[in-house]
Amino acid sequence: MKYLKQIAWAVTLGAMSMTTPSVWAQSGGHTAGSHTMLSPGDLKWVDVPSLPPGAKLALIEGPLNEAVPFTFRLQFPANYQIPAHWHPAVERVTVISGTINMGIGDKLDAQTTKPLGPGSMAIMQPKTNHFVWTKEETVVQLNGVGPWGITYVNPADDPRKK
Ligand SMILES: [Cu+2]
């Protein structure tokens, strides 16, 4: 259990509700509606206050805290976990590299997760409790319509409150 807390993961991108304008500007994100063409090397990775330590976020489209389409990537280290959580809007996750193991429920249970490798996709409905863990470094891309956020089932799992 201790291990779980140390490496929890998150997609959520709740991170997003924590994204300040300055972080937005630094991240190189593009305003919704603008024509965007970028390569992986253009991405600017920043820390994610709303996720367990170790994750990085690269904003592509947003901002995440407004009612506009968003796209961003998350990089998780190996052996990373995000405890059970939910989001206020539909979450669409596409795996770019590595593998995420995702499950649905109120508590992280590695026995119930499904491995999703490169090219895989998951679509999570609003306020549906889910969790994720990795065994290898993994990059996923999330898109949806903001405002985005993350709420942990167990408030004690929220790194913003630690
Ligand atoms: Cu999530």
Nearest to 109 by CA among 91, 130, 124: 130
User: CB count, 10 Å around CB of 59?
Assistant: 26
Q: Which amino acid is at 31?
A: T
Instruction: Give how far Cα 121 sits from Cα of 34, 54, 107, Å.
Output: 25, 22, 22
- Residue 135 CA, ligand 1 centroid: distance in Å: 17
pTM for this structure? 0.81
* Alpha carbon of 124 to ligand 1 centroid (Å): 8
- Contact by Cβ (8 Å): 82, 51: yes
Q: How far is the CA of 77 from the centre of ligand 1 (A)?
A: 16
Spatial CA neighbour of 81 closest among 48, 54, 57? 54
Percentage of the chain lying above the pLDDT 90 cut: 75
CA 145 to chain CA centroid, nearest Å? 14
- Two tokens, residue 145: 């319509």
3-state secondary structure of 133: strand
User: What is the 94 CA–ligand 1 centroid distance (Å)?
Assistant: 12
User: What is the per-residue pLDDT across 57-97, written as a single tens digit (0 to 9) for each?
Assistant: 999 999 999 999 999 999 999 999 999 999 999 999 999 99
* Average pLDDT of adjacent 10-residue blocks, the chain of 162 residues: 38 42 52 79 96 97 94 98 97 98 97 98 97 98 96 97 84
Per-state percent for the chain, helix, strand, coil, to nearest 5: 20, 35, 45
- Cα(36) to centroid(ligand 1), Å: 25
